[in-house]
Chains A and B, each alone.
Chain A
Amino acid sequence: MRVARIAGGAATAALLYAAFAIDAVWGGRTLSPQWALVVLILGAWSLPLGRGVALAAFIGIVTDALGAGRLGPGTVAAVMTTALAIVVRERARLQSALAVLVFTMLTGSGVLAGRRLVAALLERQPLTVASLQLDVARGMSCAFAASLLLATWHIVTRVVRSATAVLLRV
């Protein structure tokens, strides 16, 4: 069990590193998914409050460092949105497919739009509707990628479980 946990942690760290590297080279300027944000959404859906928020804070700091603006706004937005998302998920016991879709969309858009909002407040820059719309669109793109990954995971675990059950019965 301990070995499995260590292997899982290492795999998550490797995936996160790859997500950051890909985002640093490709991400943030198009509507293609930002993989660090996809990991954040997946963390918010599957982890408890403490671990989910710690992961979000780490992702926020790194993505702030990769961006062109100042450090901080992305971290604030990631921590606040993830904390809110996890509390809502736990209280409302979200489980259905529609809930997954709505949850990922709100979390993704919330992090990106929140970062712009905090940056505008801190640097006293004007906030345009067009930039917020772009953030919502990018957030939705990440949400679709995260939902697709969650659906794939769900299907794979179901298939493996049923296959194992059949094999054990035989």
Chain B
Amino acid sequence: MKSGALTGWFVVAACFAAAGVLCAAPKPLEDRLRGLVLDLLKPGMQLAVRLREQATAPPANPSDRGANADLMLQKELELTRAQLRHAEIDAARLRAELETLRESQPRPFQGEPGRPLFNPDVLSVRVLDPPRDGDVEQTLLTLSEGHAARVALAEWVLADEGVIVSHGDDARVKPDHPVLSGRRVFGRIASTGRFTSRVQHITDPGFKTHARIIRKSGEATIQGAEGLLAGAGNGRCRLELIADTEPVEPGDLVVTAASIPGIDDSLFLGTVETTDLPKGAAHWTIIVAPAVYPAEVRELEVVRVGLHPDRLIDEPDPASGGAP
């Protein structure tokens, strides 16, 4: 056999061994390699997205002013809806707190609210591989920022709908902080590279989170049962573990239930679409429509939770002899 052919077969064996190693690679190594590849491809992907946008952009014409006005109105409508959800969620929370206060004897001591340990801030990111309209299969999207911009694993990602900033009229939120309550959840960060990251949409089969129902009873908004929201993979989610004794109906809101460090508010996950109680079952079969679909977004917002700057110890100043 010629030496060239031998070298060829040696390369085949080496490549096959490398592929086998990849198959058995642990998840962290897999994520690192994936992050590295996406980081390297980021400039090319940005260029491809720009070309795609230019290719699909409608030609400029005089009626554009009307289209822009429509867009502005849509944005305003979404903002108003977010404010309404914020108010509904707050009303339900206050009602639950009032019930607790009425029931608890003696009244618990309530101190002055101090500075929170964690401080959320919102980072706008661009989607590098937005899916086409109606595509519900693609539930993992690549974002234009990674851990160089403090984007970390499992952070919440919200739809871009204009940040509502608190004016400090509520004791729970500090002035100039973003109001996150009622904001539409897109998903969570699944893996991060240095300059890119991947977000997992809430309909992805691997997505799971603790969720709560918010329902309307007459004029009042009430906190309902808590369950597990899991992605169904077909553009919908399932709300599991809701007992058959709990009231639930289509149109109820589904929000996050677990307290997330730095985000005390409930984030909006979706709306109950269908409910079914099979004969003899102990739990409802609930299908939830997500708050936002992957094909709708071009930009998203990552909620980064860091330590509150006021809670950090100042670095000692060497010039002043170590005094802070």
Contact = CB atoms under 8 A, between A and B. Distances in A.
Interface of A: 17-18, 20-22, 24-26, 29-30, 48-51, 53-54, 56-57, 60-62, 64-66, 68, 70-73, 75-76, 79-80, 83, 118, 122
A118 B47 CA distance: 33
Interface string B4-41: 11011111100110111011110000100110111001
Given A29-B132, A62-B37, A73 B23 contact: yes
B22 A21 contact: no
B131 interface: yes
Contacts of A24: 38, 41, 44-45, 48, 128-129, 142
* Interface size range on B against A: 35 or more
21 contacts: A20-B41, A22-B48, A25-B48, A25-B49, A26-B48, A26-B52, A29-B138, A50-B4, A50-B7, A56-B15, A57-B18, A65-B36, A65-B37, A71-B23, A71-B30, A72-B23, A72-B24, A75-B22, A76-B23, A79-B12, A79-B16
Contacts of B5: 49
Given A25-B52, A53-B15, A71 B8 contact: no
B8 A25 contact: no
Contacts of B23: 70-73, 76, 118, 122
Contacts of A71: 22-23, 25, 30, 33-34
B296 interface: no
Contacts of A118: 23
A118 B166 CA distance: 52
Contacts of B37: 61-62, 65-66
Interface of A is mostly: helix
Contacts of A72: 19-20, 22-25
A48 B33 CA distance: 28
A18 B48 CA distance: 9
Contacts of A73: 23
A21 B47 CA distance: 8
Interface of B: 4-5, 7-12, 15-16, 18-20, 22-25, 30, 33-34, 36-38, 41, 43-45, 47-49, 52, 128-129, 131-132, 135, 137-140, 142
Contact of B19 (A49, A65, A76): A76
B137 A65 contact: no
B294 to A, nearest CB: 11
B30 A21 contact: no
Nearest to A80: B16
A35 B290 CA distance: 33
